[in-house]
Amino acid sequence: MERTLILLKHDAVSKGITGRIISRFEDAGLKITAMKMVWADEDLAGQHYKLDEAWAKKLYDRTKKVFDEEGKEMPYKDHMHMGQKIQGWNKKFLQEGPIIALVLEGPHAVEVGRDMLGHTEPRQAAPGTIRGDFAKLESYNLADKKQRVLRNIAHGSDTPENAEHEIHTWFTKEELHEYAKDLDKHF
């Protein structure tokens, strides 16, 4: 059985939409096996958003493509420069206020979780997805202009391996629960 870590970032808490988001995951059949409100400190934020060179490279290439298309100059020296800047913003955002961390379990939980969140950039997130329904006006353009992070409601693990690592970053063994749900007998 697969597990994923979901963080309802402070914009979701601040908008008062966490219950509606959690309901969507429950409606989809995912099992909540851990959940808590946390106000992260610098150390926890740093453990979650580590500067990963491969991530920075992907981020830089993706952004450069858009800037090239628009004929704009990249404001970053290289991928690590950009990665550091975004990582710093991400860490700051994670500490802006309390967030809700949850572990969801089910077949293909990682893929299903990210599918339900929608595209990283809410502007590109399809209606019906969490980011598409609750933050559609947020965009790279806006974040860039305001020199801040993309406020996109939630984080979802991107691979089962990363999910296991992230789950242990946010939860102790005692906080992770095992229990049976009606749907389980069909999986």
Interface of this chain with ligand UDP, residues 48 to 107, rule: CB under 6 A: 59, 63, 86, 89-90
Position 8 contacts ligand UDP (CB under 6 A) = no
4 and 103 Cβ atoms separated by less than 8 Å: yes
**Phi-psi category of residue 153: left, alpha or beta, with phi > 0 → left and psi -120 to 50 → alpha:** left
Give 55 or 67: the residue with its C-beta nearer to Mg ion: 55
Residue 141: helix, strand or coil by DSSP?
Answer: helix
Q: Which residue in the set 120, 124, 139, 162 belongs to the binding site for ligand UDP (CB under 6 A)?
A: 120
Distance of CA 51 to the CA centre of its chain: 15
Phi, psi of 139, rounded to the nearest 5 degrees: -145, 165
Q: How far is the CB of 79 from ligand UDP (least distance, A)?
A: 12
Give 111 or 181: the residue with its C-beta nearer to ligand UDP: 111
Q: How far is the CB of 152 from ligand UDP (least distance, A)?
A: 5
Q: Which two tokens stand for residue 135?
A: 């933050």
Among 155, 165, 177, 186, which one carries the catalytic annotation? Answer: 155
Q: Is 155 a catalytic residue?
A: yes
Q: How far is the CB of 99 from ligand UDP (least distance, A)?
A: 12
**Going along the chain, which residue ranges are E strands?**
2-8, 31-38, 99-106, 154-156
Instruction: List contacts with ligand UDP (CB under 6 A).
Output: 59, 63, 86, 89-90, 120, 140, 143, 149-150, 152, 155, 158
